[in-house]
Amino acid sequence: MLVTNEQISSAVYDTPSLVKASVKDTKTFIKDAEEKIIDTLNRGTNEATEQFKADLEGIGYLLGEPIQNELSTTTGLEIDFDIISNICSVNSELVHRIQLLRDTLRRAIEMSQDAMLRIEELQLQLSVLQRQCNVRDKPLCDTLRIKNFDEMGTTDALQRVLSFLILF
């Protein structure tokens, strides 16, 4: 019973720091990836695409259809335009995946909330168990010395993890 209690205590004590580090790393990754994708790809790609469209639409009027066809074949502008369109669609997929990652982070925070409730229940059950020890088992119960989760900082650590809710 003593070994089990020590293992439970160790696991409960380490869990908040692991969850906090994971959530913090995920938050940083999502924020940086989202900013880079939006800034780098969206603005430049949209401006270039619009410029290509405007150039290709106006070139027929200025140069005539045969010259435009020859120029398109020689320079490969239509291929470049298709490539840029593909980049835009891939960019949309990346944004979608980042949104899925944010949803996963939201679920992790919800699981942290659930862990907080379960730790509170465990604390209550352990204190009830210690109070219900019979006289014969009292020396054994006294050796358990169950530390309060508040004294160990477990509930504070979970509260800090739950503070990541401000991301959403």
Helix axes 77-131, 2-36, angle to 10 degrees: 160
Query: How far is Cα 67 from Cα 59, in angstroms, rounded to an integer?
Result: 9
Q: Which amino acid is at 142?
A: D
Q: What is the pLDDT of residue 158?
A: 65
Whether residue 6 is predicted with pLDDT greater than 70 in this model: the reply is yes
User: Each residue of 10-55: pLDDT tens digit?
Assistant: 877 878 887 888 889 889 998 888 888 788 877 877 788 888 788 7
Query: How far is Cα 80 from Cα 155, in angstroms, rounded to an integer?
Result: 57
Query: How far is Cα 35 from Cα 43, in angstroms, rounded to an integer?
Result: 12
DSSP 122-143: HHHHHHHHHHT--TTTHHHHHH
User: Each residue of 143-154: pLDDT tens digit?
Assistant: 665 555 556 666
Whether residue 69 is predicted with pLDDT greater than 60 in this model: the reply is yes
Whether residue 157 is predicted with pLDDT greater than 80 in this model: the reply is no
Paired tokens of 58: 């106006």
Where residue 89 falls among pLDDT bands split at 50, 70, 90? confident
